[in-house]
Amino acid sequence: MSIPVFYEPNPIASPFLSEEESIHAHRVLRLKSGDPIFILNGIGQKFEAKIDQSTSKKTTFHLLKEIENSALPAYSIHLWIAPTKQMERMEWMVEKCAEFGIQSIGFFHSRYSERKEIKTHRLEKIVVSALKQSKNLFLPNIYPIISFKELVKQLSNKEHEQKLFAYISNPPSPSLSKSIQQNQAYHILIGPEGDFSTEESAALLASDWTPFSLGKAILRTETAGLAATHAIHLLHEN
Amino acid sequence: MSIPVFYEPNPIASPFLSEEESIHAHRVLRLKSGDPIFILNGIGQKFEAKIDQSTSKKTTFHLLKEIENSALPAYSIHLWIAPTKQMERMEWMVEKCAEFGIQSIGFFHSRYSERKEIKTHRLEKIVVSALKQSKNLFLPNIYPIISFKELVKQLSNKEHEQKLFAYISNPPSPSLSKSIQQNQAYHILIGPEGDFSTEESAALLASDWTPFSLGKAILRTETAGLAATHAIHLLHEN
């Protein structure tokens, strides 16, 4: 059996698993004192560790050694997306983006949004699970929903980061391969299924946001978020 | 309201909708005689049409004119994948591949497959729905499950098409961008979560199959199928 992997953000100061992770260790995997485990801290480090004691409330461990320590990648992807009506579609998109690797996923509501509220707890569990499965070392941040206006305002001071929004226009906007410079922090904005309103698009075009196209096919919102994330990774492939 | 789109493979010889499409036209959209619709035939044509009569058993129409007629793209993607245990994961992958555009999706079972059988009816409904939503003009073919051996044998005579399989190795195989020539028919083989067996990989490596890597992160089976499809499209972007 392969050695199980757990997530604990601060394994040096807090050498025990969360209640959720403990339940998994104790009830599902039935780990016992002395069993080997891996610990990810979600910010680039992976440790070898051994279980000290395991109950379904709290599993304690001690670290043996650090086996990976990765610097942040030279580029980062921040996805800002208007959530779909069916939350399931956002859940799988978050899982896939976390598998590919992403710095953060945040949500916004705009004029034609079908959903103005979301709960992030399930999404936080999904990114932890994708972290463990994908062997990535960085846990994506999940941000709660804010308004389109607030989001644009918050990002307005990020002058040295690349801000791009998916825009369906005729003639089509350039693709990401033509729009991005290498090794930047990218903010990718994906509007709701009903698209941005004319005023919203105009506000983005009038500021420092660059429109981009994802190709000829009309993609669903969640597919667009995934496609943009994947495209940026491919554009940084060695 | 935008004009609704329907799929009918042979609208000239059979100017009526299937029972499934008729139910949608009659009960959901409540279309009546004289209402305008679009018809996709799934092989490159789109027609303007008008409803003649609509019941939930059969909706008849007459074609007004052909408004799009697209030649097959210069490249085609044929995905062959070992289905995941949770059929839901295959369903969304099929939806996403159909949104991006794909020629066919077929299934196989191999030594470490978790699922040896699948029903394709739901997948056929999903690709029709993705066709209508994405504005693509070609309906992907869905093929039933066969064995790994049968699949490799069936494709062995396709000497002029590119055959590639996702392969996790150390050092990693080249990425798709380094493995594919432009404008080919691509057969992409994605193994089960438990991977190909040593014998299966050896058989592929010994024949005319080229191994490729999808990057550093370990992707789930369904994510790998989606990522390969999307990557090939991006490599053909103008």
pLDDT score for B212: 97
| Average pLDDT over all residues of chain A | 95
Check A217 against B99: CB less than 8 A apart.
yes
Q: Which CATH number fits domain A76-235: 3.30.1440.10, 2.130.10.10, 3.90.245.10, 3.40.1280.10?
A: 3.40.1280.10
Q: Does domain B5-69 have CATH number 3.40.50.10540?
A: no
Nearest to B76 by CA among B95, B102, B94: B102
Q: What confidence tier does B53 reach under pLDDT thresholds 50, 70, 90?
A: very high
Q: For residues B228 and B206, what is the distance between their CA atoms, to the nearest angstrom?
A: 22
Q: State how far the alpha carbon of A18 is from the alpha carbons of A9, A58, B109, B195, in Å.
A: 10, 7, 38, 31
Measured in angstroms, the CA of B108 and the nearest CA of chain A are apart by 23
pLDDT score for A2: 87
Residues A160-186: what's their mean pLDDT?
95
Q: What confidence tier does A56 reach under pLDDT thresholds 50, 70, 90?
A: confident
pLDDT score for A179: 95
Q: Which residues of B touch A (CB under 8 A)?
A: 92, 96, 99-101, 133-136, 175, 177, 215-220, 223, 226-227, 230-231, 233-234, 237
* Share above pLDDT 90 across residues of chain B, in percent, rounded to a whole number: 93
CATH 3.40.1280.10 intervals, chain B:
76-235
- The larger pLDDT score, comparing residue B237 to residue B186, is at B186
Structure tokens at B134: 């994405």
Check A234 against B237: CB less than 8 A apart.
no
Check A99 against B226: CB less than 8 A apart.
no
pLDDT score for B1: 64
Cβ within 8 Å of residue A129, ≥6 positions away: A95
Measured in angstroms, the CA of B179 and the nearest CA of chain A are apart by 13
Residues A183-201: what's their mean pLDDT?
96
Looking at the partner chain, which of A100, A101, A234 has a beta carbon nearest the beta carbon of B234? A234
* Share above pLDDT 70 across residues of chain B, in percent, rounded to a whole number: 99
> B42-64 burial by CB neighbour count: b if 16+ within 10 A, else e?
bebbbbebebeebeeeebebeee
Is the pLDDT assigned to residue B133 strictly greater than 70? yes
Residues A141-165: what's their mean pLDDT?
96
Q: What confidence tier does A1 reach under pLDDT thresholds 50, 70, 90?
A: low
Check A218 against B177: CB less than 8 A apart.
no
| Average pLDDT over all residues of chain B | 95
Q: What confidence tier does B2 reach under pLDDT thresholds 50, 70, 90?
A: confident
Is the pLDDT assigned to residue B119 strictly greater than 80? yes
Residues A192-220: what's their mean pLDDT?
94
Structure tokens at A117: 């509220």
Tell how many helices (H) and how many strands (E) occur in chain A: 7, 11
> Could you give the ipTM of this predicted complex?
0.94
Q: Is B235 helix (H, G, I), strand (E, B) or coil?
A: helix
Q: For residues B232 and B205, what is the distance between their CA atoms, to the nearest angstrom?
A: 21
Residues B185-196: what's their mean pLDDT?
96
Residues A101-105: what's their mean pLDDT?
98
Residues B183-201: what's their mean pLDDT?
96
Structure tokens at B59: 């909706």
Q: Counting Cβ atoms within 10 Å, is residue B20 exposed (0-12), middle (13-18) or buried (19+)?
A: exposed
> A75-111 burial by CB neighbour count: b if 16+ within 10 A, else e?
bbbbbbbbbbeeeebbebbbbbbbbbbbbebbbbbbe
Check B237 against A134: CB less than 8 A apart.
no
CATH 2.40.240.20 intervals, chain B:
5-69
Measured in angstroms, the CA of A45 and the nearest CA of chain B are apart by 15
Phi, psi of B3 (to 5 degrees): -70, 125
Structure tokens at A56: 């379904």
Nearest to A139 by CA among A53, A224, A46: A46
pLDDT score for B216: 87
